[in-house]
Amino acid sequence: MLASITQYFSASSMETFISDLRPTLSEPARILTPSDPDFSAANERWSDIDRKTPAVIVQPACENDIVKMVQAAHAAKVPFIPTTGGHSSWSTIDNGMVIDLSHFKDVTVDTNQHFVTVRGGVLMKELQIALSEKNQFTTVANGSTVGVIPYMIGGGISSYTPLIGYACENILSARIVVASGDIVVASEAKNSDLLWAIRGAGQFFGLVTELVLRTHDPSLMGPDGVRQLGNIFFPPERASEVCSVLRDVVSANDHASAGHFMAMNDPSKGRILMVAAQYFGTDSELQATYQPVIDLGPLNHFHEPSTFEKHSDHLAWMCPKGEFKRFSQTGLASINPENFGRLVDLHRELLETLPGTERSVFTIEWHTKTPSDGPRKTETSFGLKNIDTWLNILTWYTDPALHEKVLQFDKRAQEIMRSDTEENAFVSYTNTSRSDPIEHRYKDAAAVRKLKELKQIWDSEGCFTEEFL
């Protein structure tokens, strides 16, 4: 039962729970309470916003440990949450139990069958390294410390979406601990409806311990298995002008590409705009495609090749744990230059009125259309796979007194970028928002009805949140 269930326990009750749990676990498994010296480090998260203090952190060493932990928590009605990379807003809990998967992880690559098996708390960079060693790739996030499994089952927005779809479209099978405490295998041949639910809403149906993912040959990315990264810089006052040309370039491009148009602050140069293009082809093709943007006369521009292993290295500065960070993703109908100009003005207002927010970044992310064949044929519960443009808001600060004020800027950013959209067409990404209406996160009404039916079958008591009940 996750953090949506609010039940508090006396210290003696929790001590009894822990003492009963301990002998059921494997010898390498760890149980940490606030008095243990390793507890504080284990409770660190990517963001300290709403960071809570659990009564106990358990670190399974094998899948059977996870089974025993879920069974014990369910029997004793102890609320619990799993955590992998600690990026999720829902991976923290007061008084209950955190199942920390960081000590149970494994990656096995099958190059002959083109799939990879990911277990437990594997992080994105670990998956990239393992696949690169076998000359394979799959969809990954932009944060190297993001947990692979929670990212995949929540949908998985990726720079590789124009090539191979969203992450959930590459899930072949799963092992999941359901509310009964049993391990269930979900595949096309067995429990296929549950597999469908896991592909986009898996966090609401159980604790996924293992995923088998489709992998691909790096030659899809371009010659020698590399993609091209273009970096084009402009002053903020040219936001709408550049965005207008960029929109035309993206809409006219029928070759796979993705990228970000970012309003950010450079410590040495101040506020700046950056077009960070990712092109799956040759360097000359990249330059030809984005020449209209370069013709605008940027402050600077350069391009460079990048391998799958180094996919997210340039964003490592965003990954340290601690301080106050919030990341939200909102689907957009299109790239609107006027709205983006207003967004850049809002970014300036944030930095000028709230000192300490200089590392905040406001971004439009785009993908060219995913081919209709290949992974896109995979049936998923993810209701947003036709969304190709996203608003990404990273707010980052150090003063807890700014919580509410910074949150208002996040909300204003969404209002600006949604100003040309009817409310019934609003899109929110479930991996970064669970407070928005379910209709914003799952756009297919028939899929929502099916998810509700499956929730009654697999988790009718809301052990894994009350979503879809």
Query: Tens digit of pLDDT for each residue in 42-56?
Result: 999 999 999 999 999
pLDDT value of position 320? 95
Output the CA angle 245-246-250, nearest 5 degrees. Answer: 120
pLDDT tens for each residue of 22-34: 999 999 999 999 9
Q: What is residue 55's DSSP assignment? A: S
Average pLDDT over residues 165-185: 96
Cβ atoms of residues 18 and 56 within 8 Å: yes
Specify the amino acid at residue 95.
N
Strand-pairing partners, residue 123, are 147
271 near 263, Cβ under 8 Å?
yes
Letter string b/e over residues 316-347, b meaning 16 or more CB atoms within 10 A of that residue's CB: eebbeeebbbbbbbbbbbebbbebbbbbbebb
Please give the Cα distance from 252 to 268 (Å, whole number).
Answer: 35
Closest alpha carbon to 8 in 57, 79, 74: 79
Q: Which two tokens stand for residue 55?
A: 């009564």
pLDDT of residue 5 exceeding 50: no
Mean pLDDT within 328-350: 97
pLDDT average, residue stretch 39-44 = 97
Average pLDDT value for the chain: 95
pLDDT at 304 over 80: yes
Instruction: Give tens-digit pLDDT for 221-234.
Output: 998 899 999 999 99
Question: What pLDDT is recorded for position 462?
Answer: 95
Cβ 99 vs Cβ 1: under 8 Å = no
Residue 256 and residue 280: Cα distance in Å, rounded?
6
Q: What is the 3-state secondary structure (H, E, C) of 213-249?
A: EECECHHHHCHHHCEEEEEEEECHHHHHHHHHHHHHH
261 neighbors 363 (Cβ within 8 angstroms): yes
97 near 74, Cβ under 8 Å? no
CB 254 within 8 A of CB 301: no
What does the pLDDT read at residue 252? 85
How long, in residues, is the chain? Answer: 469
Hey, CA dihedral for 225, 227, 385, 442, is it positive or negative? positive
The model's pTM: 0.96
Beta carbons of 363 and 262 less than 8 angstroms apart: yes
Q: Taking Cα atoms as reference points, which of 446, 264, 418, 402 lies closest to residue 339?
A: 418
Which residues lie across from 230 on neighbouring strands? 277, 303
Tell me the pLDDT band of 17, cut-offs 50, 70 and 90. very high
Q: Report yes or no: 195 and 415 within 8 Å, Cβ to Cβ.
A: no
Q: What is the pLDDT of residue 6?
A: 40
* pLDDT at position 277: 95
Mean pLDDT of 210-218: 97
Report the pLDDT value the prediction gives residue 3, as an integer from 0 to 100. 40
Reading the block at residue 28, the tokens are 């390498």
Q: How confident is the model at residue 172 (pLDDT cuts 50, 70, 90)?
A: very high
Per-residue pLDDT band at 9 (split at 50, 70, 90): low
pLDDT range class, residue 254, cuts 50, 70, 90: confident
Closest of 247, 365, 241, 228 to residue 296, by C-alpha: 241
For 347-399, what is each residue's pLDDT tens digit? 999 999 999 999 999 999 999 999 888 888 999 999 898 899 999 999 999 99
Q: Is the pLDDT of residue 441 over 50?
A: yes
Per-residue pLDDT tens for 129-144? 999 999 999 999 999 9
CA torsion 85-43-98-76 (nearest 10°) is 180
Distance in Å from the first CA to the final CA of the chain:
14
Phi, then psi, of 355 in degrees rounded to 5: -55, 140
Angstrom distance (rounded) from CA 36 to CA 60 = 17
Residues 54 and 46: their CA atoms lie apart, in Å, by 16
Within 10 angstroms of residue 368's Cβ, the number of other Cβ atoms is 20
Spell out the alpha helix ranges (H) of 22-165. 39-42, 63-76, 124-133, 148-153, 161-164
Cα–Cα distance, 329 to 391 (Å, whole number): 6
Q: Rounded distance, CA 239 to CA 236, Å?
A: 5
CA pair distance 436, 173, nearest whole angstrom:
29
d(CA 7, CA 186): 31
DSSP SS3 for 21 = helix
Helical ranges in 124-191 per DSSP H: 124-133, 148-153, 161-164
State the virtual CA torsion across 265, 268, 270, 273 in degrees, nearest 10: -60
Whole-number Å distance between alpha carbons of 390 and 260 = 9
Nearest to 15 by CA among 74, 100, 78: 78
pLDDT above 80 (res 169): yes
